[in-house]
Amino acid sequence: MTADGTQAERDRLQRVLGRLALEEKQALDRLFSLLSIPSVSTDPAYHQACIEAAEWCAATLREIGFEARVAPTSGKPMVVGHWRSGQSGAPHVLFYGHYDVQPPDPRDAWNAGPFAPHLAEDARHGTVIVARGASDDKGQVMTFLEAARAWLGEHGALPVDVSVLIEGEEESGSPSLAPFLAAHGEELRADLALVCDTGQWDENTPAITAFLRGLAFAEITVTGPSRDLHSGLYGGPATNPIRVLAAILATLHDADGRVTIPGFYDDVREPSCEQLEQWRALGFDADGFLGEIGLITPAGETGFSVLEQLWSRPTAEVNGIYGGYTGPGTKTVIPSQASAKLTFRLVPGQLPAKILDGLHRFVEERLPQDARATFSGEGGSPAIGFDTQAPAFRAAARALEAEWGKKPVIAGCGASIPIVESFRSTLGMDSLLVGFALDDDRIHAPNEKYNLESFIKGARSWARILAELGAIERHART
């Protein structure tokens, strides 16, 4: 609690924390129940499992004390819940998470069934929860729901009014989210969004994510001949789209790792000297970060640290390239088309539309006479940052320090969380990004795990954050 919090407020919180401690086993059982549902949103074969997961979340919210429903969309359903105090002008937060998960493939790389959650011992972290979705995002969601359960079970009330939005298509691009926000924005609008899909600094240090890189994405298709050709009959004279595309992609970066699209860096806002000093003081282990994935040398822009490359520099990446015959054996073909999927991670100041326009010109200027390019699947969202001195941000920092015994790291994130930008642009809400995942949780990979301590202390952290957010308003009225 805040330094000037009353003894009664501190006692209320301690009772909630005590209840969480008593119900750790039951909380784990509830998490295992959710993890056992194979809610893979990208594969139509799992559609019914996604509906089951949505209904499970709605039923859990109702059991805790929320009004909750499963809201249909053109894709996977949303789960919407509300708990209201009935007090006029009470502070109101919207908690966001997702119940869908990535496909478990390759299944034979799992030590046990991906949807058979279990505890295992990890040499570094001790006891861990292993299952698809343990960290991304079911374990994270359940830390908040368990905190809310403890508050309502102990006191019959939450410190603030809470709405909950749990979606089922985050792992497949959230195609239903924008229309759902447009249709139900007034119901979901709150003073602040709480987003759990982030992580800790390390296993003993909490973090609050203060800025996110943006994203632009596109698919390029280069077309040459009017049909696939026999490489013996046409090899040499005929333009090969794979060769053309590969040559263009090879010029996307220079020898120093800089993106060569003209104007790409024009709008980049550099971090302040104070920010850079804070990052240097974190003692980030760049060698360990790369060594853990079998690499040695940073491949980004020369002259920037690994943290700077992740948090303050834009990137261009080729995520997939294909064309011609890729099956077993040999097929002597010159394909009619070749394609590549690209993404750009953006920093403050850069606009996705401008970056994609620059990509179009870059590609078209490098096409030979007998090749043409088309672009599809384009979109993106800008980078976003938050005021680290805002009352809610500082309240969360106090709560995390009280639970973990050390100040949270104010971190950046090299990834993008499009929902955060949508909350700001569509609903006019800033977000508080607090999560308890770790870089080695193997999300999207076999044997995904979530530290048992992250789950337990995550729930306790959210209980404290809710208390601190409620205290902001109470102290403002006194």
The CATH code of the domain at 214-268+314-381 is 3.30.70.360
The predicted structure's pLDDT at residue 160: 97
Q: What is the DSSP string of 212-278?
A: E-EEEEEEEEEE-SSS-EEHHHHTTTS--HHHHHHHHHHTSB-TTS-B-STTTTTTPPPPPHHHHHH
Burial of 345 (0-12, 13-18, 19+ CB in 10 A): buried
Q: Which residue, 223, 406, 431, 229, is CA-closest to 334?
A: 229
The predicted structure's pLDDT at residue 472: 87
The pairing of strands 192-195 and 431-433 is parallel
Task: Check the CA dihedral 30-36-38-40 and report its sign.
Answer: positive
The predicted structure's pLDDT at residue 477: 43
DSSP E strands, 252-371 = 315-323, 333-334, 337-346
The predicted structure's pLDDT at residue 5: 62
Question: Domain ranges in the chain?
Answer: 7-212+384-477, 214-268+314-381
Q: Residues in the chain with pLDDT < 50? A: 3-4, 476-478
Fold of 7-212+384-477: Aminopeptidase (3.40.630)
In angstroms, the CA 143 to CA 445 distance is 22
CA dihedral of 278, 279, 283, 286, whole degrees rounded to 10: -170
pTM: 0.83
Cβ–Cβ under 8 Å, residues 2 and 141: no
The predicted structure's pLDDT at residue 1: 55
Cβ–Cβ under 8 Å, residues 454 and 201: no
